[in-house]
Amino acid sequence: MKLFGNERVVLADDPATAERLGWTVRRRSAPAPEIVLAPVAGDPRREPWIAQGRVPPGGGAGILWKGHGRDWTYLREAPGVDRYLRALARPPRVRDFTVGISGLGRVGGLAASALSAAATAHTRIGTLLLHDCDAGNLERMVQELGSVASWRGNSPLPRVEAAGLPEMMRHCDAFLFAAASAVPPLGTPGDVRLPQFQPNRACLQGALDAANAEGYAGLFLMVSDPVEVLAQTAFHDSNAPGGAWLGTGLAPERLGGLALGVMWGRAMAEAAAVGQRERVARTGVPYGPHSAEVLVFDDPAAPDPALCEAMTRTARTGNYRVRDLGFLPYIGPALSSIVLTLPELLAGKEVLASSFVDGVYFGAPCRLRWGLSPTRRRIAPEVRGQLEDLHLLLRNRMSGLGIAF
Ligand SMILES: NC(=O)c1ccc[n+]([C@@H]2O[C@H](COP(=O)([O-])OP(=O)(O)OC[C@H]3O[C@@H](n4cnc5c(N)ncnc54)[C@H](O)[C@@H]3O)[C@@H](O)[C@H]2O)c1
């Protein structure tokens, strides 16, 4: 086997890609590589471009319970894979992360506020970069968060700075998109997430353009609604800007959605109300989108149907209960889906987020290895059926919206 590259990552037997990257045959004196990447043929529109334990496309939600290996592979024919191979070869950051948040409204503003007051030693976030299209709001947030300090506190807090989108794409390890053109006001009947698709798609374009222009290879995390649809849109629009597949944009595994955390929080309130908090905290799992289709299980290996139904109902309707009180819901979402999730995600721990599951962004427990990938667990046959149906429903929805490949 011929190895190419002299950093922590090597390519196995792929001189053509190595030449494009400028990676030479590995020196005999170099230490053993940390990652040996084998080229494979695959479909860059339906699966991660770089993966550990590749699962070929076509298995639907089965990736959530089926076993897979531990070998590292990359899709040789993915046109845009080079920038991600280069990024993987750099020493991985384990602390002092730079996080960017675009959209400093209720959700993004609260998340930025809470993260700005959390010690870097705890969150590993060294710098928070802020962006909003409203210059007044941006300046206000820079002033407000710039005045967060603890007298004689010896736990440094993150630096907080304003940044343009290109600057964010040059420096961020994780970029959060929390901007919205207009959240449906109180009293709006029916679904308040999917109607935001077209206006928020337009808002997203600037960030996608900046990401591609700067060769961004960090994490691109969707917070804005409809979360999974917009994550899919980001993958689609950055790789098919004129509608036809180019494949030179954001890698699917570097995109994700942060939204399942609050669904879990709402469901846990239900479990606590019926005296099941501790057991369900150990065994429970939510799956699916940030919408009224989310599913929650007290234990996916041995579900209690009545409790699953109650938890699922509470998760699905939680936002309406707050709206009915006369307030827009954003505190639980910002804290659960972002503030309590992002630091764990950056630390490589298992979190609740939406990742690319056979061509569709789908909420599930997942982990950041290189990209976000769902973690497997034992799942009862009746639960598998529900997850397969939900995956298919989402796939059809994405196709109907013209954003699935
Ligand atoms: N992921 C979750 O768990 C979750 C939960 C609740 C709400 N949401 C969604 O989060 C989004 C934001 O909600 P909100 O209540 O904070 O909205 P908001 O109206 O309070 O704030 C939106 C912010 O985005 C800014 N903005 C608009 N266009 C922009 C652009 N192109 N670039 C940069 N900034 C831009 C606005 O100036 C504003 O500050 C909505 O789509 C909402 O439905 C997500």
Do 101 and 217 lie in one domain? The reply is yes
Residue 199 in any domain: the answer is: yes
Do 145 and 71 lie in one domain? The reply is no
Angstrom distance (rounded) from CA 310 to CA 316: 10
Query: Which H or E run includes 204?
Result: helix 197-214
Q: Which of 110, 133, 229, 341 to mutate to test the pocket of ligand 1 (most atoms within 8 A of CB)?
A: 133
Do 368 and 223 lie in one domain? The reply is no
Position 154 scores a pLDDT of 85
Question: Which regions of 157-306 does DSSP assign to beta strands (E)?
Answer: 159-162, 174-177, 219-222, 255-257, 285-287, 295-297
- pLDDT by residue for the chain (405 residues), tens only, comes to 999 999 999 999 999 999 999 999 999 999 999 999 999 999 999 999 999 999 999 999 999 999 788 999 999 999 999 999 999 999 999 999 999 999 999 999 999 999 999 999 999 999 999 999 999 999 999 999 999 999 988 899 999 999 999 999 999 999 999 999 988 889 888 888 998 999 999 999 999 999 999 999 999 999 999 999 999 999 999 999 989 999 999 999 999 999 999 999 999 999 999 999 999 999 999 999 999 999 999 999 999 999 999 999 999 999 999 999 999 999 999 999 999 999 999 999 999 999 999 999 999 999 999 999 999 999 999 999 999 999 999 999 999 999 999
Position 310 scores a pLDDT of 98
Residue 405 in any domain: the answer is: no
| Owning domain of residue 183 | 97-257
Do 8 and 81 lie in one domain? The reply is yes
Token couple for 289: 């989108």
Residue 137 in any domain: the answer is: yes
Position 182 scores a pLDDT of 84
If we measure between CA atoms, which residue out of 266, 286, 268 comes closest to residue 277? 268
Position 219 scores a pLDDT of 98
Indicate which residue's Cα is closest to atom 9 of ligand 1: 224
CB 285 within 8 A of CB 353: no
Residue 359 in any domain: the answer is: yes
Angstrom distance (rounded) from CA 11 to CA 13: 6
Do 102 and 74 lie in one domain? The reply is no
Residue 333 in any domain: the answer is: no
Indicate which residue's Cα is closest to atom 5 of ligand 1: 333
Position 255 scores a pLDDT of 98
Q: Is 191 in the pocket of ligand 1 (CB under 6 A)?
A: no
Q: Is 107 in the pocket of ligand 1 (CB under 6 A)?
A: yes
Residue 339 in any domain: the answer is: no
Token couple for 150: 């603890």
Angstrom distance (rounded) from CA 259 to CA 224: 9
If we measure between CA atoms, which residue out of 63, 37, 43, 41 comes closest to residue 355? 63
Q: Is 221 in the pocket of ligand 1 (CB under 6 A)?
A: no
Token couple for 397: 């929805």
CB 117 within 8 A of CB 148: yes
Do 278 and 202 lie in one domain? The reply is no
Going from the Cα of 34 to the center of ligand 1, the distance in angstroms, rounded, reads: 40
The DSSP output letter for 46 is: T
Q: Which of 131, 132, 222 to mutate to test the pocket of ligand 1 (most atoms within 8 A of CB)?
A: 132
Position 67 scores a pLDDT of 79
Query: Which H or E run includes 73?
Result: strand 72-75
CATH number of the domain to which 285 belongs:
3.90.110.10
* End-of-domain residue from the set 56, 89, 122: 89
- How many domains, in total, are found in the chain? 3
Position 68 scores a pLDDT of 80
Angstrom distance (rounded) from CA 228 to CA 260: 10
Q: Is 165 in the pocket of ligand 1 (CB under 6 A)?
A: no
Q: Is 137 in the pocket of ligand 1 (CB under 6 A)?
A: yes
Do 118 and 81 lie in one domain? The reply is no
Position 4 scores a pLDDT of 97
* End-of-domain residue from the set 73, 89, 105: 89
Position 191 scores a pLDDT of 87
CATH number of the domain to which 169 belongs:
3.40.50.720
**3-state secondary structure (DSSP) of residue 287:** strand
CB 200 within 8 A of CB 192: no
Q: Which of 330, 338, 351, 354 to mutate to test the pocket of ligand 1 (most atoms within 8 A of CB)?
A: 330
Position 282 scores a pLDDT of 97
* End-of-domain residue from the set 198, 232, 257: 257
From the number of C-beta atoms within 10 Å of its C-beta (0-12, 13-18, 19+), residue 184 rates as middle
Going from the Cα of 294 to the center of ligand 1, the distance in angstroms, rounded, reads: 21
Do 102 and 232 lie in one domain? The reply is yes
How many other C-beta atoms lie within 10 A of the C-beta of residue 1?
Answer: 7
Q: Is 106 in the pocket of ligand 1 (CB under 6 A)?
A: yes
Residue 340 in any domain: the answer is: no
Give the position, in ligand 1's atom list, of the atom nearest the Cα of 222: 1
Residue 103 in any domain: the answer is: yes
The order of strands in the sheet holding 360-368 is 159-162, 125-131, 97-102, 174-177, 219-222, 255-257, 351-357, 360-368, 372-374
Do 208 and 275 lie in one domain? The reply is no
Q: Is the dihedral of CA 42, 43, 44, 46 positive or negative?
A: negative
The DSSP result for 333-381, as a single string, is IIIIIIITTHHHHHTT--EEEEEEETTEEEEEEEEESSSEEEPP----H
Give the position, in ligand 1's atom list, of the atom nearest the Cα of 102: 33
Do 267 and 281 lie in one domain? The reply is yes
Angstrom distance (rounded) from CA 31 to CA 12: 16
Do 102 and 69 lie in one domain? The reply is no
Going from the Cα of 93 to the center of ligand 1, the distance in angstroms, rounded, reads: 29
Verdict on whether the full-model pTM lies above 0.95: yes
Indicate which residue's Cα is closest to atom 15 of ligand 1: 106
Do 37 and 133 lie in one domain? The reply is no
Position 192 scores a pLDDT of 86
